Amino acid sequence: MAIEGAALVRRRGSGFMGRWRQGPVPRDNDSIRRGTTWTMEAGEMEMDWNAILLDPVRTFIGQLVGFLPNLLAVAAILVGGWIIAKVIQAVLVRLLEAVKADSLAERVQLADMLSRGGIQRTFSRLLGAIAYWLVMLVVLVAALNALQLTATAELLQGFVGFLPTVVTAIVVLIVGILAAGFLAATVRTVASNAGIAQAEVLGQFVQYVVIIFSVVVALQQLQVQFVGDAFLIILGAISFALALAFGLGCKDLAGRWVADLVDRLSPPAE
């Protein structure tokens, strides 16, 4: 469609594509048929490069500046929490070493159990490392809240809320292992003094029973009720089987043990 009073006029020497300028409407009908009646410059488009390239950069910088206080808060929380965790770890290790916790762990064979499990740290340093990571988990929750990562923070906070139960179960298990070692040593000593040849077997039996009972209690603290009940049933069955076997197959030996023990514990006749 021709526009009244204006058309595109090709400049000479501008190549095949040509460069065009606005000029008077040519009288040549061939020019009109070639579609040269619109004002433009062929092969060129005017683009707003500032809007394409610079606006996203400005937006990113603005968001980064607005988020900078949160980043500084996270850095402060992580650094401060790390320092507090290290201090707590060092104080706890020094305190446990002062009360000879490592020696006690060796006497009750807890250190041997840790070594067989691939843990090369001492008992006091192991507890110090556990305390360190507990504090760091709390610090991580605070850092995620500062970053406004609500979903991740709530998930980790639920895990941190469950940690006291886990710590209680671990403490119960450790105390049970310590008590098992102490009771086993006591039974061995008493049985040896009473002249019982199987003193070592009795001591190990008592130790295993106490450890199994401690595991059951620890699992109940973790609210693993089904496993706890299963352990109690198995423990009761084993105890009943041992008592039955001892009563039926070793009644003469048991009678002699009891008689010897009564003789040794009875006061001498005047």
For residue 205, the domain's CATH number is 1.10.287
Q: Give the total number of structural domains in the chain.
A: 1
Domain limits for position 220: 149-238
What pLDDT, on a 0 to 100 scale, did the predictor assign at position 244? 58
Q: Is residue 218 part of a domain?
A: yes
Q: Is residue 188 part of a domain?
A: yes
Q: Is residue 231 part of a domain?
A: yes
Residues of the chain with pLDDT below 70 are 1-55, 63-64, 66-67, 108-109, 117, 150-153, 155, 157, 159-160, 194-197, 224-270
Q: Is residue 61 part of a domain?
A: no
Q: Is residue 230 part of a domain?
A: yes
Q: Is residue 192 part of a domain?
A: yes
pTM listed for this prediction: 0.50
Q: Is residue 158 part of a domain?
A: yes
Residue whose token pair is 């019982």: 196
What pLDDT, on a 0 to 100 scale, did the predictor assign at position 87? 94
Taking phi over 0 as left and psi of -120 to 50 as alpha, with beta for the rest, 26 belongs to beta
